[in-house]
Amino acid sequence: MNYLGHFGMREAPFGITPDTGFFYPCRSSQQALNTLLISLENGEGFIKITGEVGTGKTMLCRKLLATLDEGSWVSAYIPNPNLEPRALLFAVAEELGLAIDQGLDQYRLLRKIGVVLLDLARARRRVVLCMDESQAMPLETLEAVRLMTNLETEKRKLLQVVLFGQPELDQRLSSESVRQIRQRITFQHNLHGLDEEEIGLYFIHRLRVAGYSGPALLSRSARRALYQASRGVPRLVNILCHKALLLLFGEGGARLEHRHIRAAAADTPAAAQPRPWWWPLASPSRAS
Kindly list the domain boundaries of the chain, sorted by start residue: 2-14+194-280, 27-191
Rounded to the nearest 5°, which phi and psi values hold at 128? -125, 135
pLDDT tops 90 at residue 284? no
Superfamily the domain 27-191 falls into: P-loop containing nucleotide triphosphate hydrolases (3.40.50.300)
| C-alpha distance from residue 78 to each of 10, 46, 93, 133 (Å) | 31, 15, 11, 9
This prediction's pTM: 0.90
CATH architecture label of 2-14+194-280: Orthogonal Bundle (1.10)
Give the confidence band of 1 by pLDDT, cuts at 50, 70, 90. Answer: low
Does 121 score more than 80 pLDDT? yes
- Nearest partner of 88 among 151, 36, 139, 150, judged by Cα: 139
Q: What's residue 286's pLDDT?
A: 38
Q: How confident is the model at residue 154 (pLDDT cuts 50, 70, 90)?
A: low
Selection from 8, 16, 78, 85 nearest residue 233 by Cα:
16
